[in-house]
Amino acid sequence: MINNFINQDYINNILEDAKFAKDDIICRALDRAQRGETLTHNEIAALLTTENPALITRIFEIADNIKRRIYGSRIVIFAPLYVSNYCENFCAYCSFNHSHNFKRKKLSMDELRNEVKILEMMGHKRLALEAGESDEECPIDYIIECIKTIYDMKFENGEIRRVNVNIAATSTENYRKLKNAQIGTYILFQETYHEQTYEHVHPAGPKKDFSWHLNALDRAQDAGIDDVGGGVLFGLADPYFDVMGLLLHNEHLEKKYNTGFHTISVPRLCPAKGMNMENFPNPVSDETFAKIAACIRIAVPFTGMILSTRENHEMRKKLLRLGISQISAGSCTGVGGYAKRESGIHSQFIVSDDRSAVSIISELMDDGYIPSFCTACYRGGRTGDRFMSLAKSGQIGNVCLPNALMTLCEYSMDYGNDVFKEKTNAIIKKELPLIENTNIREKTLENIKNIQSGKGRDFFV
Ligand code: SAM
Ligand code: SF4
């Protein structure tokens, strides 16, 4: 069944009304958000559109508080893995666009293994598999073969434990295949919820069909994938319209499947080969982008928020304080890019934070964060509403925090030098007392000692 839960007039009216929202209404909404209450659409629209610097500062403070309260200092680390750049679509913003003339490539299984080996050597445990859309060159069975190949690989230091998938909207039957291949989250960006803009930037190819794309996460849920991730590509349409679209989409999924987005990604349009940024009339400034991230954090406190290396070092640092809970590190956005990093790979877009994974991870620790490599929820089958009830029960501190500390300890033993190990110990010392449950705290310490002495590697599920 085709749903259209995006009522454009409704969103436009709310955004129009928001222009007249008085500052004291916004202050009251922020007080309610601070107390953990859910805000109305009108309140969120008023937060989004305010230009009052004092209120924006308060929005940032509350987003930061919410994030600390729910997620603590953990930041989940992942890397994208591009397997194919064949594409039948004509997305105006993307360098893989069908009309662009370059030598297309998809990874052979040997090349894939090589990429995964390099990612594993960087310490990654969680990947996001990415591909263009081509039934002929990159059919679902090829994607499934890639996933199986990745999960089958075993290394001295473990294995890739969670493969999230970011491929084009597909059929329920294909989503069932992805489910059976034990993917983590299925991620699909709506790009924009503004139908006319959507049609304008997707002039041809299967992705042209707005409803097919909009209903893809329903099909994924119908096929049993209960961790689904959304996002919009900021810079295509009015960003406030798109945030309201994201929230309506989330509510639709909550109503229908009892669980909304597992994650929301906030990609922002960046330069890419074959596209000209000047052709996109809705650029989003750094200030607006930060306000948007903070408003999303306030609107959906329990949803993970993902930021990629599209953003530069400085912006990532800022947004980590405003709600982001997952970041990519050491990323390449071209097919075969990890093996051939220096040799002119055709990237999907230009990465702005090109620091190595280890320097990103190390700096996170210097800034007081715990880089987390945990995949326990997925491995223990705690997905969909089971994860959400964990988050909402406030038990993240007794489950995710111990796992973050243990997986960081594992990472430091496997990949860290002495300085890194010292930093890890300092974090463990600081964070361990924050585990409220005494038994869990003691067990975590015991496991950490086992990891450090090479006796064994037990994580919680
Ligand atoms: N091909 C699939 C699709 O389009 O749904 C899978 C995802 S594609 C590999 C990853 C995402 O990259 C797209 O959804 C799009 O939002 C984003 N992207 C493409 N070109 C971009 C650009 N120039 N700047 C930022 N993000 C871009
Ligand atoms: Fe193809 Fe995805 Fe790029 Fe569009 S965004 S051209 S579908 S790879």
Query: 378: which 2 tokens?
Result: 């997925």
Q: What is the pLDDT of residues 61-112, one digit of tens each?
A: 999 999 999 889 999 999 999 999 999 999 999 999 999 999 999 999 999 9
Residue 343, pLDDT score: 64
Q: Which of 416, 405, 399, 390 is nearest to 446 (CA)?
A: 405
Helices (H) and strands (E) in the chain, counts: 19, 9
d(CA 290, CA 307): 12
Which ligand is nearest the CA of 89, by number? 2
Question: For the whole model, what pTM was predicted?
Answer: 0.95
Residue 209 to residue 301: CA distance in whole angstroms: 31
Strands (DSSP E) along 190-301, which ranges? 228-231, 263-265
133 alpha carbon, distance to own chain's centre: 20
**DSSP codes, 187-208:** E---B-S-HHHHHHH--SSGGG
Q: Which 3 state secondary structure label does DSSP give 229?
A: strand
- The residue type found at 428 is I
The Cα–Cα gap between 261 and 176 comes to 18
Q: Do residues 375 and 126 make contact, with C-beta atoms less than 8 angstroms apart? A: yes
Q: Give backbone dihedrals phi and psi of 444, rounded to 5 degrees, phi first.
A: -60, -45
CB 164 within 8 A of CB 128: yes
Say how many Å lie between the CA of residue 268 and the centre of ligand 1. 10
Signed CA dihedral, 40, 42, 45, 50: sign only: negative
**pLDDT value, residue 8:** 96
> How many residues would you count in the chain?
461
User: If you measure from the C-alpha of residue 236 to the centroid of ligand 2, how many angstroms do you get, rounded to a whole number?
Assistant: 14
Give, for all 461 residues of the chain, the pLDDT tens digit: 566 899 999 999 999 999 998 999 999 999 999 999 999 999 999 999 999 999 999 999 999 999 999 889 999 999 999 999 999 999 999 999 999 999 999 999 999 999 999 999 999 999 999 999 999 999 999 999 999 999 999 998 889 999 999 999 999 999 999 999 999 999 999 999 999 999 999 999 999 999 999 999 999 999 999 999 999 999 999 999 999 999 999 999 999 999 999 999 999 999 999 999 999 999 999 999 999 999 999 999 999 999 999 999 999 999 999 999 999 999 999 999 999 876 678 899 888 888 899 999 999 999 999 999 988 777 777 777 777 777 777 677 778 899 999 999 999 999 999 999 999 999 999 999 999 889 999 999 999 999 999 888 776 65
Cα 398 to Cα 434: distance, rounded to the nearest angstrom: 9
Atom of ligand 1 nearest to the CA of 82: 9
**Rounded Cα distance, 97 and 132, in Å:** 9
Q: Strands of 7-109 (E only): list them.
A: 74-84
Considering every ligand atom, which ligand is closest to the CA of 82?
1
Q: Whose alpha carbon is nearest atom 8 of ligand 2?
A: 132
Atom of ligand 2 nearest to the CA of 90: 6
- Distance in angstroms (rounded) separating the CA atoms of residues 272 and 112: 24
pLDDT for 436 equals 87
Tell me what pLDDT residue 379 has: 72
Tens of pLDDT, residue by residue over 20-61, are: 989 999 999 999 999 999 999 999 999 999 999 999 999 999
Q: How far is the CA of 233 from the centre of ligand 1 (A)?
A: 8
Ligand closest to 91 (CA) is: 2
3-state DSSP assignment of residue 388: helix
